[in-house]
Amino acid sequence: MKAKKAKVEKLIYTATIHQNVGASHYTSSKKEAEHILKKLETMNITILRLPFVYGEKFSGKLSFLNGMPHRLARYFFKLLAAFKVTLHISALVDCIDTNLKLVSSDEVMLSDKQENNLVYAIVRRALDISFALSIIVVFWWLLLLVWFAVKMTSKGPGIFVQQRVGLHCKPFFLYKFRTMLDGTEQVGSHEIKSNSVTKIGRFLRKTKIDELPQVFNILQGNMSLIGPRPCLLSQYELVEVRSKCGVYEVLPGITGYSQVKNIDMSSVEHLAKEDEKYIKIRTLTLDFQILVSTVLGWKLL
């Protein structure tokens, strides 16, 4: 309010990247402050959502890293960053400098992301391959049984092959157990007519067993266990919005952040924004939560 009275034209307000987590007095007061700021019409507001910010030197609980050789300290930090969202202070400074020059108000979420974190990449790939091989080695009989059941209960192939949009917007062939009548129009899941789904297909969809053949997509390297769900090439609006949000910078997944929050592809803008948020806040901890939520059928808050 003081800034408004002083006729400040541009205000940059910082908040935690996990603003909506928890119900403490602190988070409630921050939400109330944001609500008041967004109602101000006399100045431009930019809200910066920040994770753990660090610089060339570490502080607080990580100050012990300053006593290590520089390279060793950086490797150790990469290990920690695989479990916690981080941001280098230089990126924060650049963002503030850029936003001071902007006229329009907006909300920006900043993070280092994980594409440059070798620890995160290695652990994720190891998890992907371990999962895929485990399903094939341990549950090969289930894969054969489901394939046979699908073939015997309705006309058409046991495995359904469909082109989807993958990494860097490149199309790839996704594998699923067929759950619909042969010849059904290829549209998004939310657009499928109920009478197009076979009896066994309803069970496979409900239990997610129809997704199991995607372990072969994982081994081929065009999918991951966890990531944004791949859409059809014909879903032009979603592809365009996701492209603008940088969603195609990562591999699509069998399950994902938006899916365990019950957001489907009918909510184009909302889905793309949540996918973008996942890419910025993803950690091994969050990926584990998504995996557990998927297995247990819980909604991620």
This prediction's pTM: 0.87
Sign of the C-alpha dihedral computed for residues 119, 120, 124 and 125 taken in this order: negative
Tens digits of residue pLDDT in 245-283: 999 999 999 999 999 999 988 889 999 999 999 999 999
* CA-wise closest residue to 263 among 274, 255, 254: 274
| CATH numbers and ranges of domains, the chain | 2-112 (3.40.50.720), 119-296 (no CATH)
* CA-wise closest residue to 182 among 160, 203, 204, 208: 160
Tens digits of residue pLDDT in 227-252: 999 999 999 999 999 999 999 999 99
- In the numeric block, the tokens 């910010």 are attached to 53
Tens digits of residue pLDDT in 122-149: 999 999 999 999 999 999 999 999 999 9
